[in-house]
Amino acid sequence: MGDSVAAGAGCPAMGSQDTSVLKEVTESDYKYGFVSDIDTDKIPVGLSEEVVRLISQKKGEPEWMLDFRLKAYRHWLTMTPPKWGHLRMPDIDFQAISYYAAPVKKEGPKSLDEVDPELLKTFDRLGIPLQEQKQLSGMAVDAVMDSVSVKTTHKEALAEKGIIFCSISEAIKDYPDLIKKYLGSVVSYKDNFYAALNSAVFSDGSFVYIPKGVRCPMELSTYFRINASGTGQFERTLIVADDDAYVSYLEGCTAPMRDENQLHAAIVEIIVEDRAEVKYSTVQNWYAGDKDGRGGIYNLVTKRGLCRGDYSKLSWTQVETGSAITWKYPSCVLMGEGSVGEFYSVALTRNHQQADTGTKMIHLGRNTRSTIVSKGISAGFSENSYRGLVKVTPAAEGARNYTQCDSLLLGSDCGAHTFPYIDVMNPTAIVEHEATTSKISEDQIFYCNQRGIPTEEAVGLIVNGYAKEVMNKLPMEFAVEAQKLLQISLEGSVG
Amino acid sequence: MNDILLKVTDLHAKVEDKEILRGIDLEIRPGEVHAIMGPNGSGKSTLSSVLAGNPAFTVTRGSAIFHGVDLLSLSPEDRSHEGLFLSFQYPVEIPGVSMVNFMRAAVNAKRKYFNEEPLGAGEFLKLMRQKRAIVELDNKLASRSVNEGFSGGEKKRNEIFQMAVLEPRLSILDETDSGLDIDALRIVAGGVNQLKTSQNATIVITHYQRLLDYIKPDFVHVLYKGRIVRTGGPELALELEEKGYDWIKEENR
């Protein structure tokens, strides 16, 4: 099932002149591609029960956590990687990856909170100041480098409201009851191959708990940075919003430019209780490989939220511009009566990038509602697929879904595909699906040119216009960044 | 010579393999209004597209000197910066791009060309407000997407609004009167007349005398089969209105 559109078919072809401009425009550089010179404690490559034990030991974890990992590892051994994505992916040699890399703390007298200046510099360069005096107001950040959390800002201010925002490693030690209760409750280690792998070797990530009735006063954010080479990053994020709580959470990611492919296999689990609301926004800008498709991150991620409470709401917004391969489907399980799931996505692929991304909306409860807005943008030789499932179970009386799925093609060597799956088992459900495919027309470019707007800026303007509906869902500060990112991803000239 | 704004000499152009312009000669001085008339398919819109640099057309011979600059060697955006404006016969829709963002990009691109700082938000909005009044465009325009869902009249008013903002030296109005009712026509023509100075010039491309009642031309040219076959004063337009184009066709058989 599903339909594919090869670029060029049914659309007016672009003149060769425009094509070359588009080519230039869509092959720009990656400005986060630097490597920081930081001593790294990296364990040897390979995966075995010993390695799992070693990771757990390095993190000083309790016995129950090690058991969780070992169970997952043993299950993983019985599984094979999924092959159903519309992706050309070479087999990954899981024995060639190092599963733990941590920046080494320098010797010398220092306070517990002190962070290596080189690390501070790295995050500064990424636009994430961690020093007290420079911290972003209105936003708390958990900065994760390779396998460990480096620093979490604004922790104390949040604690006053009873909000827990810390690295998952700390949470395992400090809040074992919450972790035992929720970890793996939405994404079981049996869920899929990469989920099992992550459950066995996950290194760090963030934990968020918003207590009953609390509205989180600032944006919470985790910034993931891969620095070490030959490693994988396996982060784990767990967000729990108790009854009537609200939180807006942001995630950003970058990695150095390298010829090798690096694996990023994360799990994000979200639990939303009665009348609570979680907004989860991602700007994914992992290194995408060079213009010939060498290197780049394999971004293979399982993200899922459970709207367990009645009238709870979970909203995913993602702007995906990076990674050589993206395989992720942030999903909502709508269990509570009247619960609401949303998915807003912009996925831009260029050069030889591949993305197979979308969502699953599983309607279990009565009068549950979901909205899906997906905007794919393909350029160069990239392949961009939307894959989505809307499932209405027999008990989901009065369920409602609206899906809008648009593709924009830049140039004529790229592909856009949609694979919508609709599975309705209750006759009262209303499910709508709309889809469009378009190209930027020569007329639009010439119109902009005539008004003095050069082609690359015009393409950026038009692409941002096309993606606006999704960009508007991002928190303000993030939206500006994401807009720039789209523009930069297309432009090249801007550093 | 210095006071010639545009001098077109022996201009030939083709689209794909079809020659459309076959030797256009035209001289325009600051302060002048030139009307270009002619039957369908005579090359009127091609002339405007070629001057504006539409890549769909290829110039095969001739030159166009715009206040001393070789127009044909410039990119479309640089022609715009140098002061050439084309009011499109069919203004293009750009979904999701608000008029404010579009015009800000246009204004700042021009400022950049002349090594000027981008206009601040306050100044820019003030400029938008002032210019909007010229064509009686309401303020909801700013948040609407470029030409998307605009009526025929609104699209043409929007073209003149953009012309007002960009303050060109030479404006080419390509069948700006097509699809306009009489009120819209009056507003559009009123806008054009307000923007007229002794320093700038206008080319009005039209089928009908009607528009020339509102925008008074100094010269009327008749284009036929890719050449200007007759040039006269305003009375030529009236003559065409009365007699149609058949006698022109007859003369140039």
Encode A102-114: b = buried (16+ Cβ within 10 Å), e = exposed. Answer: bbeeeeeeeeeee
Contact between residue A301 and residue A264 where contact means Cβ atoms under 8 Å apart? yes
- In this prediction, residue A395 carries a pLDDT of 96
pLDDT tens string A360-401:
999 999 999 999 999 999 988 999 999 999 999 999 999 999
- In this prediction, residue A175 carries a pLDDT of 96
| Gap between the Cα atoms of B113 and B128, Å rounded | 20
End-to-end CA distance of chain B: 35
A398 — contact with chain B (CB < 8 Å)?
Answer: no
A12 — contact with chain B (CB < 8 Å)?
Answer: no
B92 — contact with chain A (CB < 8 Å)?
Answer: yes
- In this prediction, residue A106 carries a pLDDT of 53
Residue spans of chain A under pLDDT 50: 1-25, 108-112, 492-495
A479 — contact with chain B (CB < 8 Å)?
Answer: no
Residues of B in contact with A14 (CB under 8 A): none
| Gap between the Cα atoms of A203 and A150, Å rounded | 12
Which residue, among B48, B79, B92, would best test binding to A if mutated, counting the most A CBs under 10 Å from its CB? B92
* Shortest distance, CA A464 to any CA of chain B (angstroms): 7
* Shortest distance, CA B3 to any CA of chain A (angstroms): 25
Residues of A in contact with B55 (CB under 8 A): 15, 17-18, 442, 446
Distance of CA A107 to the CA centre of its chain: 35
Contact between residue A247 and residue A214 where contact means Cβ atoms under 8 Å apart? no
Minimal Cβ distance to B80: which of A18, A444, A450: A450
- In this prediction, residue A439 carries a pLDDT of 87
| Gap between the Cα atoms of A319 and A283, Å rounded | 5
Which residue, among B82, B88, B94, B147, would best test binding to A if mutated, counting the most A CBs under 10 Å from its CB? B94
- By CB neighbour count within 10 A (0-12 exposed, 13-18 middle, 19+ buried), where does A24 fall? middle
Q: Which of residues 435-474 of A touch B (CB under 8 A)?
A: 441-444, 446-455, 457, 461-462, 464-469
Which residue ranges make up each domain of chain B? 6-251
A210-213: Cβ within 8 A, 24+ apart:
A210/A163, A210/A240, A210/A241, A210/A242, A210/A245, A210/A246, A210/A247, A210/A276, A211/A161, A211/A162, A211/A163, A211/A242, A211/A245, A212/A242, A212/A243, A212/A244, A212/A245, A213/A242, A213/A243, A213/A244, A213/A245
How many other C-beta atoms can be found within 10 angstroms of the C-beta atom of residue B121? Answer: 10
**Do residue A449 and residue B76 have CB atoms under 8 angstroms apart?**
yes
One-letter amino acid of A347: A
Predicted model pTM: 0.82
Nearest chain B residue (CA) to A440: B94
pLDDT along chain B (253 residues), means of 10: 86 94 96 94 94 95 96 97 96 92 95 94 90 84 87 91 96 90 88 93 91 93 94 92 87 80
Minimal Cβ distance to A452: which of B55, B80, B101: B80
| Gap between the Cα atoms of A30 and A256, Å rounded | 9
**Do residue A447 and residue B88 have CB atoms under 8 angstroms apart?**
yes
Tokens standing for A245?
């709580």
- In this prediction, residue A150 carries a pLDDT of 62
Tokens standing for B164?
């007002």
| Gap between the Cα atoms of A288 and A282, Å rounded | 16
Q: Which of residues 125-164 of B touch A (CB under 8 A)?
A: 145, 162
Nearest chain A residue (CA) to B167: A451
Q: Which of residues 44-63 of B touch A (CB under 8 A)?
A: 52-56
ipTM of the complex: 0.96
B77 — contact with chain A (CB < 8 Å)?
Answer: yes
A15 — contact with chain B (CB < 8 Å)?
Answer: yes
Minimal Cβ distance to B76: which of A450, A461, A465: A450
Which residue, among A447, A469, A490, would best test binding to B if mutated, counting the most B CBs under 10 Å from its CB? A447
How many other C-beta atoms can be found within 10 angstroms of the C-beta atom of residue A261? Answer: 18
B122 — contact with chain A (CB < 8 Å)?
Answer: no
Tell me the β-bridge partners of A360.
A389
Q: Does domain B6-251 match CATH 3.40.50.720?
A: no
Residues of A in contact with B110 (CB under 8 A): 452
One-letter amino acid of B14: K
**Do residue A454 and residue B109 have CB atoms under 8 angstroms apart?**
yes
